[in-house]
């Protein structure tokens, strides 16, 4: 309840804007649809997808003969919830160790997110190892070390400036020998427009696959929700380079508008695995499309 309350508070601006437009409608005319489209675009859903939503809502209202604001609002929520509901790609859940590569640009909360994921696995009784593949920053290595200590996870690192692929290989070797259940691999906060850094990320994946052919079993991209459409461009580049299997959206407790979740799933057709609303361990939760849209839109007439 604390988590959902913080998510709801973080998305309150979007909820108020969209609910006010639907709630104040006098009839479902072009002016109504134009206003709603503007609100969806302002919520970081994006131009193309916002227009798609509006066209589908038009058809639903006309086809079902909807007449009230409440009916239109409920239909809008159903459409958006369905858009966020993607089939989860099959992963080799029986693999041991299960290798999870986590990536993303600087500042998205990647290393903290890895620590929270480690905590959730540890709570399930899994043996977890953290591999410090972000060798560009001493702070990243030490931050991950602290999370390993907090979660009781094994930890593998080298010195700052080491070859990241070498660290990853050492972690794979150690995880295999120590009977680790889940190996979580951190990577540097790579700028998505830097070709050399993307090439290094590809190298890491090649090293992983030489050691364990079907790994990494998941490649997770961490996205900062407050960066809006820039997050979509990041995700497109990462996905075209290394193939993302899942998304984690962080910082939904601040100025984020929430619509980026819909923009990402519509463009990439990659499922959102988890969302985060803060710094504590419990502030990262599994993503539920229905609950997310409920937090983002609420009930008609609810302005806060």
**Whether 107 contacts 224, CB under 8 Å:** yes
Output the pLDDT for position 126: 97
Question: In Å, how far are 77, 169, 255 from 262, measured between CA atoms?
Answer: 12, 36, 17
Q: Answer whether residue 60 shows pLDDT above 70.
A: yes
Which residues have CB under 8 Å from 86's CB, separation 6+?
265, 269, 270, 271
Q: What is the pLDDT of residues 246-302, one digit of tens each?
A: 999 999 987 788 999 999 999 999 999 999 998 888 889 999 999 999 999 988 766
At 130 the three-state DSSP class reads strand
Mean pLDDT of the chain: 91
Structural domain spans, the chain? 2-86, 98-288
Burial class (CB in 10 A: 0-12, 13-18, 19+), 237: middle
Listed range (81-85, 108-112, 191-195, 276-280) with the worst mean pLDDT = 191-195
pTM above 0.85, yes or no: yes
- Residue whose entry in the numeric block shows the structure tokens 């519509």: 266
Phi, psi (rounded to 5 degrees) for 68: -105, 160
Pull the structure tokens for residue 243: 């193939």
Q: What is the pLDDT of residues 189-242, one digit of tens each?
A: 866 557 777 888 999 999 999 999 999 999 999 999 999 888 999 899 899 999
Pull the structure tokens for residue 84: 């966020």
Q: What is the pLDDT of residues 158-177, one digit of tens each?
A: 999 899 999 999 999 999 99
Pull the structure tokens for residue 304: 């806060």
DSSP state of 227: G
Which fold is adopted by the domain 2-86?
1.20.120
Which fold is adopted by the domain 98-288?
Rossmann fold (3.40.50)
Average pLDDT over residues 7-12: 88
């Amino acid at each position: 309840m604390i988590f959902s309350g913080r998510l709801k508070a973080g998305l309150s601006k979007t909820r108020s804007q969209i609910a006010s437009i639907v709630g104040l409608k006098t009839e479902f005319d072009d002016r109504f649809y134009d206003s709603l489209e503007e609100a969806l675009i302002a919520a970081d859903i994006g131009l193309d997808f916002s227009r798609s939503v509006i066209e589908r809502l038009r058809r639903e209202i006309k086809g079902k003969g909807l007449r009230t604001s409440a009916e239109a609002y409920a239909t809008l929520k159903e459409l958006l919830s369905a858009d966020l509901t993607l089939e989860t790609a099959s992963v080799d859940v029986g693999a041991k160790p299960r290798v999870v590569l986590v990536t993303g640009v600087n500042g998205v909360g990647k290393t903290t997110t890895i620590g929270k994921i480690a905590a959730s696995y540890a709570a399930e009784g899994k043996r977890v190892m953290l591999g410090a593949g972000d060798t560009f920053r001493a702070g990243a290595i030490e931050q991950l070390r602290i999370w390993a200590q907090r979660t009781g996870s094994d930890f593998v690192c080298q010195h700052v400036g080491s070859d990241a692929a070498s660290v990853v290989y050492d972690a794979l070797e150690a995880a295999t020998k120590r009977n680790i259940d889940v190996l979580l691999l951190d990577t540097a906060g790579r700028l998505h427009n830097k070709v050399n850094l993307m090439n290094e990320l590809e190298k890491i994946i090649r090293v992983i696959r030489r050691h364990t052919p079907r790994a990494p079993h998941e490649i997770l991209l961490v996205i900062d929700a407050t960066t809006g459409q820039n997050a979509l461009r990041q995700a497109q580049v990462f996905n075209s380079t290394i193939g993302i299997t899942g998304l984690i959206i962080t910082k939904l407790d601040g100025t984020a508008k929430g619509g980026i979740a819909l923009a990402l799933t519509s463009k990439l057709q990659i499922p959102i695995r988890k969302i985060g609303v803060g710094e504590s361990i419990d502030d990262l939760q599994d993503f539920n499309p229905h609950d997310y849209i409920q937090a983002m839109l609420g009930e008609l007439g609810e302005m806060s």
